[in-house]
Amino acid sequence: MSVVEILSQGTHYIHQIIPAIKIYYKLNNLLKNMLTTHNNEQDLIVVTAEYNNQKRYFLSLTFDELLKLLHFLEPSHRTLYEVLCQNTPCKLYFDFDIYVEKSFNLSVEESLLILQNLFHYVMMNCTNQHSRNSISFVNHFLVPSASTELKHSYHLIYTNTFIRFESQQTIFQFTMMVLNHCSHFILSHSC
């Protein structure tokens, strides 16, 4: 893979405070690394921070490292975007981002509805909660927007109060499994 997935040690101002920290460009790379290095026992916190250019980077820290980082960072560098606690039960959620210049003629609203329908259907089947009532799948999602003029950005949060995942990693694995199966069926379909 030609794309750099991790920031080189010592190249970020965070390395001046915590030299050994690994900073990732993609959340899935960080989560994969955490799964393979068995860091689940440490109660690490996954943090998303934002660059000035509105791109994000990801790192995992202990609570003490997070406090040290917040204490020593200059206020202008405290660009914490999101804290994802690793070992706490959480709802299904994911981000949906499409850059405007690359969206072509894609209907963002229709794409959001398809994703909501897909994940609601999968969740209901996985938990044997088939509903015969008339509540629309759309009512099971909270969809806050974080869009700018450069990109369409939405957070899809599944609001069913009875369904929780054990950690961020299980949400990631579940989401990737569903999307991989969908991709397989789409690619293998012959019409």
Same domain, residue pair 105 and 163? yes
Closest alpha carbon to 95 in 40, 146, 21, 164? 146
The list of the chain residues with pLDDT below 50 reads: 1-3, 134
Q: How many domains does the chain fold into? A: 2
126 CB burial (10 A radius; 0-12, 13-18, 19+): exposed
Domain boundary among 50, 66, 85: 85
The tens digit of pLDDT for each residue in 109-125 reads 998 999 898 988 888 88
Domain boundary among 85, 115, 146: 85
Same domain, residue pair 119 and 156? yes
**Which residues, listed in sequence order, are joined to residue 21 by a DSSP beta bridge?**
none
Same domain, residue pair 101 and 177? yes
The pLDDT value given to residue 39: 55
Could you tell me the maximum CA-CA distance found in the chain, to the nearest angstrom? 59
Same domain, residue pair 40 and 76? yes
The pLDDT value given to residue 1: 34
The pLDDT value given to residue 30: 86
Is 1 a member of any domain? no
The tens digit of pLDDT for each residue in 166-185 reads 877 788 888 889 998 888 88
Is 129 a member of any domain? yes
The pLDDT value given to residue 82: 66
Q: Which two tokens stand for residue 168?
A: 């961020």
Q: Which two tokens stand for residue 69?
A: 């980082």
Same domain, residue pair 73 and 117? no
State the residue range of the domain holding 44. Answer: 6-85
Q: What is the DSSP string of 104-135?
A: TT--HHHHHHHHHHHHHHHHHHHTT----S--
91 CB burial (10 A radius; 0-12, 13-18, 19+): middle
Same domain, residue pair 41 and 109? no
